[in-house]
A and B are shown apart, each in its own frame.
Chain A
Amino acid sequence: MNLSKKNKFIVFLLAICCSGYVYYTHLMKPPASIESRQVAFTGTAAEFSPKVQENANEWLNNIVVLEGVLTSKDENGITLNNRIYCQFSTRQKIVVAEQTLQIKGRFIGYDDLLNELKLDQCIIQK
């Protein structure tokens, strides 16, 4: 098949556009948001702590939904059951005090300086 010069140029342009599209949609994709990721564990904070103690590395970077009692709070996050620190993505004021909460977040590790488990990108579900 003989393509004219004009057609060749159009094919070339299309190829560039396609590769640009793939580059931006696939390669340059931002990290998946917490809402869109699959939940690996749902349960109470009290159930989750011993599971992590067995093997913390197994849970790294997993999304968990935990229910626990709010024991302290600061402008960046809250602590459940005196043991699990849940950090929010943005600073916010938590108005509730001493109550049971359900949060969704990403488990990032066991903090041995403060002896607590850490979650980030947390969202209060109820």
Chain B
Amino acid sequence: MSTQLKPGQGPLEYARRPWIIALFALVLLFLYAPIASLIVFSFNVDKSGVWHGFTFMNYIKAWHNEAIFYALTNSLTIAVLSTVVSTVLGATTALALWRFKFPFRDAYEGFMALPIVVPEICMGISLAMFFSYTGMMAGVRDWVWPFNLINIMFAHIAFCFPFVAVVVRARLQGFNRQLEEASKDLGATELQTFINVLVPFMVPSLVAGGLLAFTLSLDDFVITLFSSGPGSITFPVKIYGMVKRGVDMQINAASTVLIVITLAATLLAMKLQAPDKAGH
């Protein structure tokens, strides 16, 4: 074999094939151009699709637009509270499935995975019916904020915590149970062992699972649309209403804020997890 291989022609150098590089670039353009355009036009002076000059006016207007501000606050509050509960429920469920043999274990496990696969719209309408039949839809309407959002939180927790459970369980698979035995041999109680041995081991998965729950909750539109009564509006539901009435640069401004919040949270959590990866 005397022919010299050119760079990118090596048999396994797929990452350097020109056509793959071109495809990669095109896909990135396809993925990011719409979002970039949305952010750029949030600074446009008018609401046409044509660039007419730079302004912060849309942000100021969106900030003073009570409905948008209220919806965004609702979304963030729901996301934070649902994340806390989902993380606890997800962790306990994962621990139960990881540690114990019990009757109907497979059925329990299967039901826990159902919200992950059932179409959102089906879960949304079943909850809508449930809330209106039980009177919860009308019942919580006049409760003091944030309790008037409690139906949405119940719904969000129901579809978020199974995801947390999956993440935590994957981490628990790598736990050496002899550590637990050692702790108990040294005189620690069940609870002490749990808090000092098992929980520190679970932390990275609790952060990752919690972050996933936060994003899922903030992101959810379909289930929220059905389980929210009149008056308790979240950010995606508000945007949906505005999009139906046409393009408005205030949507772009508020969306940009939400994109920044979500991406910051994602990158932060990835950074938090990074030292752990290096340690193992």
- Is the pairing of A and B real? no
Chain A contacts to B: CB under 8 angstroms: none
Chain B contacts to A: CB under 8 angstroms: none
